[in-house]
Amino acid sequence: LERIPLNNQVNSSTVIVEGKVIAKTSYWDTRHFNIYTVNRVEVYKVFKGAYVEEINVITPGGTIGTDAEVVTPSLQLDIEDKGVFMLFEDNMLLDAPHALAQKFKPYSGPQGYYKYNVIDNLVINPFLVEEGIANFYQSVIQLTGIDPIEVRPFAFNRTANRFQEDNQAIAIVTFSPTTVTAGTKTILTINGTDFGTTPQNVGFRNSDDGGSSYVFALASQILTWTDTQITVEVPSKAGTGTIAIINSAGDTILASSSSSLAVDYAQLNATYDAGSGDYAYQTQHINDDGSGGYVWQMFTDFDSNTAAKESFIRAFDSWRCETAINWTIGATTTTDAVASDGVNVIRFDNGSELPDGVLGRCTSRYSGCIVGGTDLQWYVSELDINFNDTTNWQYGPTLANGAQIDFETVAVHELGHGHQLAHVINSSAIMNYSLGFGVNKRVLSSNDIACAGDIQSRSNSFTPCGQPSMVDFDCSTLSINESNLAEAISVYPNPATNELFIKKLNNSIALDRIEIYSVTGKMVYSEIVEESVLEQKLDLRTFSKGVYFLSISSGINNTVKKIVIN
């Protein structure tokens, strides 16, 4: 995501309302291209637009029977969510049983919703945390120039510690394990006092906003609840941070942990409601193409952009060679749409197709089946990736500077979603919820690889709905110019003082160029490498102490390593 300022949102929205989500229903569009969710919102205030008591906010993705779609990043709302919506008219035709009135979509996608954390009296979107809901009212009013229309009362000025003063014995004493993974059926045990015997909410820090709000475990994920102990599955959107027991209304903390739960990685889940509430299910890959996995196809204009294509392939090969995901790139396609059409397309958007501020987006489509009358199994049936065509991209191998967005970083991130990785709260991680100008994160971490490995293990072990299991990709089948260059060279010592050595571990590799960049993205060193050289020595005596990025090129392939100069 790229930040869109509040004044841009106010000016670009035709309707701005404060409200609460009271119902959700998913529909296909009339062309059966994509699934959308209609979120019915009860309106409290109208900051811009005409008086209205209820509106429908349309968000991408949802579940219809045993078809599901998850779009990342996108706005995903839960019933009882409260906040301010920046909206404009939505003309999407949905296959609903009756016409939907007052139908809008959020301007700038997930940034177009300012969620209330009523517990802490905060207003939150992916790039803003403002203390005081009343203060946020004034920020919006200053930009609209008019007072809001009061539709129904909304009392946000609760006394934060009112419940706790009357219930001093309620406490979280311990929890275990202290390090978990999310969306993986991992069970957290919370020990304490006076929890009561009626289940309330278990809150985790929300990985989609950096932990500024809470995400609740589904009722079906709360396995046991006694006066002194709770066992709960860690939900997909849980991120590193404190955990809390929150009342059933979702507006008062009953107890909060004194220490943080560490979430190393998270996986996407498919959600299904059979009539008794939502259940979360793990997903996996299959042998979709008959050759072990999935075939992706580049739309013709993406394929013709050589720099974008090469950058994408580098990101693609990182996942294939590090995690054995069986993806291949097939012939180009003339399919220029993100749709449920059997084509796993890689493309740029057309015009304003992607919401403002969205750099790239991955759509995961799932098919499911009921097994044994009760259990559901879900597998990835199709993947599509869409990139913003107007972004100031740095395609590499040079690193992005402070005025550029690194394309390979965004591609690695979106392919991570395609691999079924979800967001984490870790600003240095590839799967962190936001990416900005001058951020270069092209190398998978051990947590990325572990998460993908867990998914891959399911994918090549199980046969969901009778589908054939995925076969691990063999990275050795790539030509040397496409292989993982990082494994074919050695850089030492690191940290370094006066000199640094770059040694080829495979004599068939021909290195082209070595470049060094500062943390601000400025190139401070560049050298063409002679093909016959097996070990290159770099003189570092003129460099200042600090962190640098070493970029090594071989043909169209490139690897970036972080080095420290003492």
pLDDT at 556: 56
- Exposed (0-12), middle (13-18) or buried (19+): which is 36, by Cβ within 10 Å? buried
148, 141 contact by CB (below 8 A) = yes
| Digit-coded pLDDT (tens) for 409-460 | 999 999 999 999 999 999 989 999 888 899 999 989 999 999 999 999 999 9
How many other CB atoms are found less than 10 A from the CB of residue 78? 15
User: Roughly what angle, to the nearest 10 degrees, separates helices 407-418 and 306-323?
Assistant: 50
**pLDDT at 479 exceeding the cut of 70:** no
How many other CB atoms are found less than 10 A from the CB of residue 335? 17
Q: Does a structural domain hold residue 172?
A: yes
- Exposed (0-12), middle (13-18) or buried (19+): which is 369, by Cβ within 10 Å? middle
Q: Does a structural domain hold residue 287?
A: no
Q: Does one domain contain both 198 and 103?
A: no
- Exposed (0-12), middle (13-18) or buried (19+): which is 35, by Cβ within 10 Å? buried
In 3D space, the residue among 76, 420, 68 whose CA is nearest the CA of residue 273 turns out to be 68
531, 463 contact by CB (below 8 A) = no
**pLDDT at 353 exceeding the cut of 80:** yes
SS (H, E, C) 484-534: CHHHHEEEECCCECCEEEEEECCCCCCCCEEEEEECCCCEEEEEECCCCCC
Q: What is the mean pLDDT of the chain?
A: 92
Q: Does one domain contain both 406 and 533?
A: no
Q: Does a structural domain hold residue 281?
A: no
Q: Does one domain contain both 101 and 228?
A: no
| Digit-coded pLDDT (tens) for 214-237 | 999 999 999 999 999 999 999 999
Whichever domain contains 244, its CATH number is: 2.60.40.10
Pick from 118-127, 189-198, 437-446, 509-518: least confident: 509-518
Residue type, 261: L
Whichever domain contains 82, its CATH number is: 2.40.50.120
Q: Does a structural domain hold residue 190?
A: yes
Q: Does one domain contain both 179 and 138?
A: no
Name the token pair of 375. Answer: 């259990």
| Digit-coded pLDDT (tens) for 58-116 | 999 999 999 999 999 999 999 999 999 999 999 999 999 888 888 999 999 999 999 99
Q: Does a structural domain hold residue 276?
A: no
Q: Does one domain contain both 234 and 370?
A: no
Whichever domain contains 498, its CATH number is: 2.60.40.3080
- Exposed (0-12), middle (13-18) or buried (19+): which is 167, by Cβ within 10 Å? middle
**pLDDT at 511 exceeding the cut of 90:** no
More confident residue, 158 or 350: 350
- Average pLDDT of span 516-544: 83
Q: Does one domain contain both 326 and 199?
A: no
**pLDDT at 483 exceeding the cut of 70:** no
CA 99 to chain centre: 32
Whichever domain contains 355, its CATH number is: 3.40.390.10
Q: Does a structural domain hold residue 80?
A: yes
Domain range for 414 is 294-475
Q: Which of 475, 501, 519 is where one domain is finished?
A: 475
Q: Does one domain contain both 176 and 212?
A: yes
Scanning the structure block, which residue is given the tokens 């969205």? 358
**pLDDT at 158 exceeding the cut of 70:** no
Q: Does one domain contain both 459 and 311?
A: yes
In 3D space, the residue among 436, 405, 435 whose CA is nearest the CA of residue 423 turns out to be 435
pLDDT band for position 555 (cuts 50, 70, 90): low
Q: How far apart are CA 397 and CA 400, in angstroms?
A: 9
- Average pLDDT of span 239-266: 96
More confident residue, 401 or 158: 401
Q: Does a structural domain hold residue 447?
A: yes
- Average pLDDT of span 240-255: 94
Reported pTM:
0.84
Q: Does one domain contain both 315 and 426?
A: yes
Q: Does one domain contain both 374 and 318?
A: yes
How many other CB atoms are found less than 10 A from the CB of residue 160? 14
pLDDT at 561: 80
Q: How far apart are CA 115 and CA 210, in angstroms?
A: 13
Q: Does a structural domain hold residue 355?
A: yes
Q: Which of 93, 116, 150 is where one domain is finished?
A: 150
Q: Which of 429, 451, 475 is where one domain is finished?
A: 475
Q: Does one domain contain both 303 and 339?
A: yes
pLDDT at 159: 39
How many domains would you assign to the chain? 4
Q: Does one domain contain both 39 and 133?
A: yes
Q: In terms of DSSP bridges, do strands 103-106 and 54-60 run parallel, antiparallel, or are they unpaired?
A: parallel
